[in-house]
Each structure stands twice: as C-alpha cells, then as structure tokens.
Structure 1
Amino acid sequence: MSQLSTPVASPPNPKSFPFSGRLFLSLGALSACTSVAFSAAFAHLPVFSEGVPSAVQTALSQQQFHSLGLLFTGLAIAVFGAKRWLQAAGWLMVLGLFFFSFNLYARYVLGLDAFRSLVPWGGGAWMGAWLCLAFGVIGKKDDANRMT
C-alpha cells in the first residue's frame, strides 16, 4: 500500500501582511492589555472605594469587545488586503476607544469633564467601524489601498 503525501502549507510570512493589518493587530492587543490593567486598577483605586460606577464598567466591557474588533480588523486586512473599508474600520475602532472608553475613564478617574460630549460620537464611530468591516469583507479584493 502506498502512502499518499499531503503537501504541507508553509506558514504565512508576517512581513507579507499589510502594515495596517499588523498595526491594528498590535493596537487591538495593546487595548486588550490595558483593559485588563484598568479593570484591576479600578477595583483598587480610592476614588472607587464605594464601587466602580456602571459607566466605567460599560467603558471597560466596550473596550474589551472593541479590542477584539481591532484584532478581527487586522486579520481581515491580512486575508482580504488593505482595502479602504477595512482601514476605515480599524481607525473608527481606535477613534471609538478614545471618544468613548478613555473619555469615560478620564471623566470618572481624573474628573476631566471637558470632552463629555464626545462619548456618543465614540459609540457612533464603533457602529461605523462594524459597518465598514462588513463592507470591507464583501467587496472586491482589487480595491485595496496602495498604503499597505
């Protein structure tokens, strides 16, 4: 009986991934890391001695969820190319993190209330990001941006 040999696929070369895909993977990992650090810190900060406010809990859970979104966006760029829709999705995820989560942290931890009106824009940025991600994965592969 002869053995059939199955060709083994070589692992993808990370250098062949578009830069924007690697960037969003890195930003997603860093955001996930900071969400864990913030969660632990907020549990012990004196300002939250009577409990972490629900707005901060929401900011943490949204940061964790959208960190995964950034990771998915980076992987989508690796698979489908650095399409404009996918790049827009990544940058909108980042914008949402700053306008929503980091803004709420600054408000409750530092007492910085100057940018409070940007919180809803963060949620809108995230909704736009998910729509861009959806459009990016169903569009043509040849509409990739030259900025890879």
Structure 2
Amino acid sequence: MKTERILQIAAAFGALAVVFGAFGAHALETLLLETGRLDTFETAVSYHFYHSLALLLLGALTHLFPEKKRLITSAWFFIAGILIFSGSLYVLCLSQVTWLGAITPLGGLAFILGWVLLFFSFGKGNQS
C-alpha cells in the first residue's frame, strides 16, 4: 500500500469517526440510553478515532521511512482493528445482536499487533 493511500484511508476513517460520534450523540442518544449501549458506542468511536490518528501517523512515517515495510503491515492491522473492533460495536449497539461482542476482541488484537509492529519498525539496526 502506498503512503498516499494510507493517508486517504486515515482521512476517511477520521471523518467517519466524527460522523459516528455526532450521530451517536444526537440522533441515537435516546436509543443508546434506552438500551444501555451509550458507553459501548462511545468506546467504539474513541478507538475508531485514536486509530484513525495512528493511521495518519503511519502515513507520515511511511513517507519518511519507505524502507520500513512493517509500517505498512501495521497500517493494515489498524484498518482491520477499526473495521472489526469499532465496526462490531457499532452494529452491536444498533442491532442488539449480542454475539457480535464475541468478535470484538479480534479487532482489539489487531490494534495490539499494529502497535507492536510499529514498535519493532524502529528497533536498533532494523531495516524492515
């Protein structure tokens, strides 16, 4: 994946995080309060936004360090994490399909792997 694509995805995910946050705070607030899912929705938006910013950082880092291929893999894990972690929580909050909570940890694992790969991208003597 090219630097420009990572930055575009980061921007799109960032915009969606703002949209979902506003939608949850206004249009969905009554529903989320009635179902007891407001905190869950806020968690989904928070992690969505944090990792959109992390993708933005990765876009900049891949531009500065194109030889570090782990940065691209890290970006893929953050993308997967947003889709699986935040996505499953959004759907859970709106549909009340509780089994979706079972896949949410896979998104969390993707986030962790993304951060670990970012860490190891800058180890001593690391060129990958």
TM range, smaller chain = 0.7 to 0.9
Query: 1:37: which partner in 2?
Result: 19
Structure 1 contact 80–137 (Cα < 8 Å) conserved: no
The match for 2:32 among 30, 48, 61 is: 48
Tell me the secondary structure at the aligned position of residue 122 of structure 2.
Answer: helix
CA distance in 2, matches of 1:87, 1:118: 24
- Structure 1 stretches (4+) deviating beyond 3 angstroms? 49-52, 111-115
Unaligned regions of 5+ residues in structure 1, if any? 1-18, 144-148
Q: Which consecutive unaligned segments of at least 5 residues does structure 2 have?
A: none
Aligned mate of 2:107, from 94, 110, 122: 122
Aligned residue runs from structure 1 range 1-148, under 5 A: 20-43=2-25, 44-45=27-28, 46-48=30-32, 50=34, 53-81=38-66, 83-138=68-123, 139-140=126-127, 143=128
Matching residue's letter, 1:120: P
Instruction: Name the structure 2 match of 1:6.
Output: none
Report if the CA contact (8 A) 2:61-2:71 is conserved: yes
- Cα pair distance change 1:55/1:49, threshold 3 Å: closer
SS in 2 for 1:115: helix
What's the Cα RMSD here? 1.9
User: 1:15 aligns to what?
Assistant: none
Count residues with an aligned counterpart: 123
Percent pairwise identity: 28
The structure with the largest alpha-carbon Rg is: 1
Shift of 1:55: 1.2
TM-score by length of structure 1 reads: 0.74
| TM-score, normalised by the number of residues in structure 2 | 0.85
What SS is found at the alignment partner of 1:81? coil
